[in-house]
Structure 1
Amino acid sequence: MRIEWKGVMPAVTTKFTQDDKLDLDMFGVNINAQLEAGVNGIILGGTLGEASTLTDDEKRILVETTVDLVKGSVPVIINIAEQTTKGAIEAAHRAKKHGADGLMVLPPMRYKSTDRETVTYYSEVAKNTDLPIMVYNNPVDYGIEVTHDMFEELLKFDNIQAVKDSTRDISNITRFRSRFGSRLNVFTGVDTLGMESVVMGADGWVAGLVCAFPAETVAVYELAKAGRIQEALAIYRWFLPILELDISPQLVQNIKLAEVTTGIGTEQVRAPRLPLQGEERKRVLQILESGLKSRPQLPDYKVLI
């Protein structure tokens, strides 16, 4: 499937049972909720997907299950977060074999690579797969920035097509757009900059709280993209206290708890993560319950998709 890099693409959580197995039933419930809301793709095995805790076989199961669920309606993209170039290339080969349509690729894990090493890493992955690639640029959390000069070198590979920008610098979207035009599709990866990024010209939004609130997230994107700013803003202002749960070291636990409150997920995480407890759990639940009490009536945003 050719990927049209635009719109809302949820970085979905991985659902687990109480005995630490994949919960494919609840996973399916959530994927179907995303499709019903009108998302443009499904991204597996990202930070929210607890990628570092998944086995290769679990990743295979998630890809194959998602491909079966979406039935070609949207692309299925899997994140690659490997320590070695060889491991990343092997992961890309497995992704294609299992039916993925594209890749989201982080720089090397653990080792803080230099600019030259980072460019070489991405180049080797791109040369060894024909799957389209989104570069995941998150220097805040992962310590390596893929700069505009580095993209100048990387874009000689036709299959490097998009960037998920999580620098938290809203002006970076304008810099990408000014320098590369339509050659590079730009997504925001920060929920609390979701609407602002769309207004500034982002092609899409790799979202987190969409996992619990798919319709609201897609509505904000589609309304903002259509220039219906006041309608988008009304939803976004309601949404922002919830979206702030994404910018936390416990974002996985926060968003899984949010999925529980909206009935499309479970609270189970994989150790060493543990579910929230005590005062922090109360605080997050208070934010979610307050939001649910004032949940807005959405306009018919689907006519814009």
Structure 2
Amino acid sequence: MNIYSGIWPVAPTPFHPNGAVDYEGMERVLDCIIDQGSDGICILANFSEQFLITDEERRLLTERSLAHVARRVPTIVTISHYATQIAVGRANHAKAHGAEMVMMMPPYHGALMRGTAEQTYDQFARVGEVGLPIMVQDAPLSGVDLPVPLLVRMAREIEMVKLFKIECPQAASKIRALIAEGGDAIEGPFDGEEAITLMADLDGGATGAMTSAMIPDQIKLVLAHHASGDRDAAQAAYARVLPSINFENRQCGFRSAKAVMVEGGVIGSEFCRHPISPLHPDTRAQLLELVRPLQPIALNWGR
């Protein structure tokens, strides 16, 4: 089995109702993700609300999360920042506390400050000097174009660039082209965006998926059947979970995993910091209506 394979959920960051980070709740989230049979964990990603967390909170979350996971599964720490020096500093901090990998988007700030191809290459090369495998996050949020030739060049010339989370439009086609042009240099092509295009991405050559922590135990069945060559079983497993994935992707975003984890007793609050609004009660009810029949571990973990 490729070590860069399977399902690697993004851990949500729980907050107390007063807005303070719930560090004990974070440890319960991590335990739940491991109990869901996940092959790895990602912390401090966009679905962790990393853009709503202070630098000091980030430091503590990194240190406490890595200490608590204690290498039970590999952990990826997201380190994205426009400033290369800060991204490198975050990578060094993650490595010092036991992270197995880091994930980063290309350099960007707001809608207009976007790294060029060379600036992106240089930033990843600098982070690569830290010595941790890097997952390139190709997400629309950055607004930075990452064409296949650039990604292949990075994979071939920067030793630590090994993984690629592709969640741009028509991701399957890009994954297929990336593998065709990059060959063995593309060690871990991953699906993203809550697995809303998972079957197409697996057919395109993805070896893993980085989803939310809402129902990874149920989505994992799709990857397992696909990897074994049982396409009919993979299609059936995917059809079973797709309505809830679609609802999460289109209606809830990162608030979905928190809602399910509160309902399942994993954490005590689904608070999101302003300016993020809480889920509308009707939206929350519709989400749970779709998730309950799946009987995911997160919905019952703390009960």
TM-score normalised by the chain length of structure 2:
0.87
Query: What are the equivalent positions in structure 2 for 1:269-288 lying under 5 Å apart?
Result: 269-277=272-280, 281-288=281-288
Distance in 2, matches of 1:233 and 1:288, equals: 23
Is it true that 1:152 corresponds to 2:152 in the alignment?
yes
Q: How far 1:94 moved relative to its partner?
A: 1.7
SS of structure 1 residue aligned to 2:8: strand
Q: CA deviation at 1:45?
A: 0.7
Q: Report what 2:301 is aligned to.
A: none
- The secondary structure found in structure 1 opposite 2:42 is strand
CA distance in 2, matches of 1:296, 1:62: 29
For residues 249-288 of structure 1, what are the structure 2 equivalents within 5 Å? Answer: 250-265=252-267, 266-277=269-280, 281-288=281-288
The CA RMSD measured in Å over matched residues stands at: 2.2
How far apart, in 2, do the equivalents of 1:105 and 1:30 lie?
A: 22
Equivalences, count: 288
- In the alignment, which residue of structure 1 is the partner of 2:9? 10
Please give the residue correspondences for 1:121-200 in structure 2 after superposition, counting only pairs within 5 Å.
Answer: 121-127=123-129, 129-138=130-139, 140-155=140-155, 156-169=157-170, 170-184=172-186, 185-190=188-193, 191-200=195-204
Could you tell me which residue of structure 1 aligns to residue 76 of structure 2? 77
- Greater shift after overlay, 13-22 or 243-252? 243-252
Query: Partner residue of 1:302?
Result: none
Q: Which runs of 5+ in 2 are unaligned?
A: 298-303
1:43 aligned residue: 42
Unmatched runs of 5 consecutive residues or more in structure 1: 299-305
For 1:46, give the aligned amino acid: A
Aligned amino acid, residue 275 of structure 1: P
Mapped to 1, the partners of 2:295 and 2:29 lie a distance apart of 21
Distance 1:27 1:217 in 2: 22
Contact 1:42/1:74 (<8 A) preserved: yes
Alignment pair present for 1:202 and 2:200: no
Which aligned runs of 4 or more in structure 1 are off by greater than 6 angstroms? none
Superposed CA deviations along residues 261-304 of structure 1, whole A, max 9, x for unmatched, are 34434311122212123xxx413421421341x32799xxxxxx
Q: Distance in 1 between matches of 2:218 and 2:50?
A: 26
> Where does residue 225 of structure 2 map in the other structure?
223
Q: Is the 8 A contact 1:199 1:225 kept in 2?
A: no
Measure the CA separation in 1 of the matches of 2:208 and 2:261.
Answer: 22
What SS is found at the alignment partner of 1:136?
A: strand
Given that 1:253 and 1:274 are in contact with CA atoms closer than 8 Å, whether structure 2 keeps it comes out as: no
